[in-house]
Structure 1
Amino acid sequence: MSTVAFRVTDEKKSFIQSMADLNGLRLSELARTKLLEGLEDQIDMALYEKAMKSHELNDESISHRDMLQELGF
């Protein structure tokens, strides 16, 4: 397992430690979890934006009413 270190002010460390305590986590667990969640969210948003651009270029959407007619309802 690797170790990653980063520098923060004493004030920010105190804040991060308080948040870790609030969540019942060790500081390293909180930092790791939140960092990975943030990066995964960023990937999700990039994939969403790419999919939406693709959809806009080739929009095959139909209305709810048209779908019902197509299905024979």
Structure 2
Amino acid sequence: MNTVSFRLSNDEKDFMQRLANSKEISLSELAKTTILESLENQIDLETYNNLMKKHQINDESISHAEMMQELI
């Protein structure tokens, strides 16, 4: 297991510790899960934005009425 450290003000640490306590997890676990979730969200958003750009270039969307016509 590796260790990563970063600096916090007393207020920041106290805030994070209170949140960790309310979730009944360690401060380390709170920091780790929060950072990993944030990074995963950033990757998801970047993927979404890239796919939306591709979709806008080659938009093959059809309306609900057009879909219903195809199904009849």
Q: TM-score, normalised by structure 1?
A: 0.95
Code of the aligned partner of 1:68: M
Question: Structure 1 residue 49: deviation in Å?
Answer: 0.3
Distance 2:67 2:11 in 1: 58
Deviations 1:34-65 (A, max 9, x none): 00000000000000000100000000000011
- Give the alignment of 1:53-64 within 5 angstroms: 53-64=53-64
SS at match of 1:18: helix
RMSD, aligned CA: 0.6
- Residue 68 of structure 2 corresponds to which residue in structure 1? 68
Return structure 1 stretches of 4+ with deviation > 4 angstroms: none
Unaligned runs of 5+ in 2: none
TM-score with structure 2 setting the length: 0.96
For these two proteins, the number of residue pairs brought into alignment is 72
